[in-house]
Amino acid sequence: MTLQTKNTYKQPALSPALSSLLLVDDEEMNRDMLSRRLTREGYTVDVAADGHSALEMMKIARYDMVLLDIMMPGMDGFQVLHTIKADEILQQKETFVIPDVLANAGGVIVSYFEWVQDLQNFFWTEDEVNKKLRDILVRAFHEVLTMSQREKVDMRLAALMLGVSRVARAMLWRGLYA
């Protein structure tokens, strides 16, 4: 008796002229070799050296395919896939997500306050620190929320957009090497 199986998997048809790929690999040689080969084949290729960079790029651009190295330092390929899936679930459930840059900002801001106080040799009360911290965090939250609503993007992307625009503006005002 011979057992025959029928392969029902069909490879997706990707026309190179219409396909954008994100290539994620921590090895520069692999990124270079694969991106050159895929570009010669007619694909539009963006590259990322790690999982965190790949996630940021996927928030900004839409890719038809992601070629993802599984074993990378920091965030490996499996973690990238879990993060993508978690983001999809949160969006489907319309869960309001406060970006990590806002959620973790309190400690950084208070450290800055301590530095300023040490420089001035003038120290604030705990109530003064808490009021200043609250004012900054509330203002930052509303700026990100406004950007999110105006541009119709999620809060994470709005925070990224706001941060990039501030860096660009500072570079214009101060110059690149200031």
Q: Are residues 117 and 66 in the same domain?
A: no
The number of domains in the chain is 2
Q: Is residue 12 part of a domain?
A: no
Among 30, 62, 92, identify where a domain stops: 92
Claim to verify: residue 27 and residue 82 sit in the same structural domain:
yes
Q: Looking at residue 152, what DSSP letter applies?
A: T
Residues 116 and 168 in one domain: yes
Task: Say if 160 falls within a structural domain.
Answer: yes
pLDDT at 178: 55
Classify residue 83 as exposed, middle or buried by CB count within 10 Å of its CB (0-12, 13-18, 19+): middle
The reply to whether 28 falls in a domain is yes
pLDDT in tens, 33-83: 888 888 888 889 999 999 999 988 988 888 888 888 888 888 888 888 888
The answer to whether residue 7 scores a pLDDT higher than 70 is: no
Domain annotation covers residue 1: no
From the number of C-beta atoms within 10 Å of its C-beta (0-12, 13-18, 19+), residue 72 rates as: buried
> In this structure, what CATH number is given to the domain that contains residue 25?
3.40.50.2300
Q: Which amino acid does the sequence have at 117?
A: Q
Domain edge (last residue) among 68, 92, 116: 92
Examine the domain organization and report whether 71 and 122 are in the same domain. Answer: no
Domain boundary among 74, 92, 110: 92
**Which range marks the domain in which residue 129 is found?**
100-174
The model scores a pTM over 0.75: no
- Give me 82's structure tokens: 């879990």
**Does residue 113 share a domain with residue 55?**
no
Question: What pLDDT score was predicted for residue 15?
Answer: 56
Instruction: Say what the pLDDT of residue 140 is.
Output: 94
Residues 75 and 117 in one domain: no
- 82 and 119 inside one domain: no
Q: Residue 26: what residue type?
A: D
pLDDT band at 172 (very low <50, low <70, confident <90, very high): confident
The per-residue pLDDT for 142 is 94
CA–CA gap between residue 84 and residue 90 (Å, rounded): 10
